[in-house]
Structure 1
Amino acid sequence: MIKSARNLLSLITVVAFLCSSCSLGKKVQISEYAGLISCHQQRAFNARSVKPRPINELNIDTALINHFGFASLNIANAFGFLDLLQRNVKAKEDFKRSPTIENRLRKIETTIKLSEKINLASLEISSFAAELDCEEERITQVADFVKGKEKQRETRLTVAAIGIGAIGGVASGLLSSNDNTGHAGDYVGIATGITEAILGVLILKNSKVTELQHPRNVLKDIWYGEDSAIFPPSVWYFITYKNPAQPNELSLREKIIESWKGFNQVAVGQKEEMNQFTSQYFQDKGIYGTDDLYNRAKMYDQIESYVKMIKQDLTALSLELEAQDDL
């Protein structure tokens, strides 16, 4: 009986060893899934040659300053229709002084062109926001896929723990009832307990990783703040512009970074930790677990929200234009 118990003990120990030898953090190959959809359908931008000049470096006509707020002028400068806005103001003033057909047509023409520019700017913002949303969804899909693999393995480990516990309990009872020394049941009980403990640890530490390709790394551009070949130049100008007259006011880019720090989404502790984070998040690819993938997706979501906020200034400009027409 003791010999049988020891054999069963050896068998359970082997099972425990095999379970403990299962690699944690096993890499999941999903490149074929993640690469099916391209979120970018446009050319890269050369920001150094087309980025708008800061509005504080321009000589703004007094008439524009009197008719529009700074935010409206800055959005017009960002999307390249500040001159058209000035022509529109002049055309309206000329028509008020001399309501001729020629002046009326000039006013209508500049108003229509201005409306087209505003609509085009809105489309450009929406287009880039759609790319950010697509990338966020792609990352989330990868995270869900890896999470599903983790749940499958967790289920198998849980079933194994339940099965070993049941078998060990029955075997321990039978051996104890048929063994006068009582040691056989103890051996089986110990082996079963060890195996269940190992399986429990494996369940707690069950994790998988995957390599995520992200050559168009928007997070990198936001973090370092250098010229971007990913952002549309107008959008990049707007989110990086910092008004020298308000040195304490953060740019949109700086607000995004502060948001990341506030929610502990970026590693800002020790140098070694920061270097690891940088090599993972701010390169062309990185190895990610599910938590890191979800974190990266949330970071994209925050950028998308701030990009969409640019439309608020376009709306303010449109309202100011309508107010001018009512005068």
Structure 2
Amino acid sequence: MKQRKIFILFIISIFVSSCTTVLNSPKIDYLTSNYCQPTIEYDYSKLEVFPNKTSNNDSILKANLSQHDILISKAIGIESYLAEYLQIKKDTLKRLVLKQKITDRLILTSIEINALASELDCNGERIDKLANFINDINNKKTRNLTVASVTIGALTTVATVLIKNNNASDIVGVSGGLVSAGLGALTIAPKGKKINLKLERNLLRNIWFNDNSNGAYPNSIWAILNEKQFSNSGKNDLQESIKNRWLQYNFDGKIDAQTEKLFFYDGGIYSADDLSSRANMLNELQATVRSLEQDLKSLSVRLNSI
């Protein structure tokens, strides 16, 4: 009877120790703090003050640029500069001034693209490192459970042979079998460790809800992401396309309120799989943002030929 109690307590202790726990350590604290966030808040308000548009801007631009390049020029705020530049033929100095303003805005937009992409890249690496850290802990735990299961099974076999008392031998055999089976079950479906990740600046949220009211994305980039003609299909804009891919490939076509809150609000308790999904989403968004350089290149090449 005493042996039975000991084994039962042992089984309980194993299952209790295997319950999911939230990790807390200096390594976790370092990686859960968003060191990728900009150290200053950018002021885009002055960039929104462009020269007044003239009534014949569209006709002048259409005569010299593709619709794609016209949309880019509007998104980055050089539409009026371009229209005026294209009208001037003899005033070389004024053309040079306008050309410099246009070039400055192209350079600034390129910097904005690279700055946003760098923040996404940094966060993707940070979250991926967290996922790998937790996976390493979970894998080590699984290995330990496997070793313990094999060891318990071997010891139980030996004990049942050595114990001469039939009742005691049966108790040890049954209890040891239960413990070994319990350990084996835990290796099949282990309850992995998790971490608490708070998201003060969640760049995925703007895309998911199509809302940039917090100004996390520069207005020029946000305008491009919300223009259908900048996508290959032309049916959905880039923001919609990204969201649809996330929905299909990360959430199997549907998402519940709890998961939506975890990924697109202020964070919460993440498993290693959740973190891997988040890292993939950040990397995918980064790739899309970097691809906007191709649109700038198209306009730049055309301007140099005018």
Q: Same fold (TM over 0.5)?
A: yes
Any idea what SS the aligned residue of 2:268 has? strand
CA positional deviation for 1:50: 7.0
2:232 counterpart of 1:234: no
Q: 2: distance between equivalents of 1:138 and 1:51?
A: 33
> What is the correspondence of 1:286-301 to structure 2 with a 5 Å cutoff?
286-301=268-283
Question: Does structure 1 retain, via aligned residues, the 8 Å contact 2:57–2:83?
Answer: no
Any idea what SS the aligned residue of 1:262 has? helix
In the other structure, the counterpart of 2:69 is 72
2:248 counterpart of 1:262: yes
Task: Note the alpha carbon deviations across 1:38-81, whole angstroms, 9 max, x for none.
Answer: 4323315678x97799xxxx963322112111221211211112
> What is the correspondence of 1:135-284 to structure 2 with a 5 Å cutoff?
135-175=123-163, 178=164, 182-203=166-187, 204-228=189-213, 229-242=215-228, 249-263=235-249, 265-266=250-251, 268-269=253-254, 274-284=256-266
Cα 1:46–1:282, aligned 2, differ >3 Å: closer, same or farther? farther
Gap regions ≥5 residues in structure 2: none
Q: Normalized against structure 1, the TM-score is what?
A: 0.80
In the other structure, the counterpart of 1:24 is 19
CA positional deviation for 1:173: 2.4
Q: 2: distance between equivalents of 1:108 and 1:50?
A: 21
Any idea what SS the aligned residue of 2:57 has? coil
Question: Does structure 1 retain, via aligned residues, the 8 Å contact 2:120–2:283?
Answer: yes
Task: Note the alpha carbon deviations across 1:59-106, whole angstroms, 9 max, x for none.
Answer: 633221121112212112111122222233233xx14xxxxxxx3343
Cα 1:313–1:307, aligned 2, differ >3 Å: closer, same or farther? same
> What is the correspondence of 1:93-112 to structure 2 with a 5 Å cutoff?
94-95=89-90, 103-112=91-100
Cα 1:125–1:36, aligned 2, differ >3 Å: closer, same or farther? closer
**Aligned AA (2:285):** I
Any idea what SS the aligned residue of 1:151 has? helix
* Fraction of identical pairs, as percent: 27
Q: 1: distance between equivalents of 2:49 and 2:186?
A: 55
Question: Does structure 1 retain, via aligned residues, the 8 Å contact 2:194–2:272?
Answer: yes
**Aligned AA (1:225):** N
Q: 2: distance between equivalents of 1:137 and 1:46?
A: 28
CA positional deviation for 1:184: 4.3
CA positional deviation for 1:238: 1.4
The higher relative CO (CA closer than 8 Å, separation ≥ 6) is in: 1
Task: Note the alpha carbon deviations across 1:183-213, whole angstroms, 9 max, x for none.
Answer: 5444322222110111122222231221111
Cα 1:110–1:45, aligned 2, differ >3 Å: closer, same or farther? closer
In the other structure, the counterpart of 1:3 is none
Task: Note the alpha carbon deviations across 1:253-289, whole angstroms, 9 max, x for none.
Answer: 00101111231x13754xxx62112221121122111
> What is the correspondence of 1:32-111 to structure 2 with a 5 Å cutoff?
32-35=30-33, 37-43=35-41, 60-91=57-88, 94-95=89-90, 103-111=91-99
Indicate the RMSD between aligned Cα atoms, in angstroms: 2.8
Gap regions ≥5 residues in structure 1: 1-5, 96-102
In the other structure, the counterpart of 1:114 is 102
Q: Normalized against structure 2, the TM-score is what?
A: 0.85
**Aligned AA (1:190):** V
Q: What is the aligned length?
A: 294
Any idea what SS the aligned residue of 2:270 has? strand
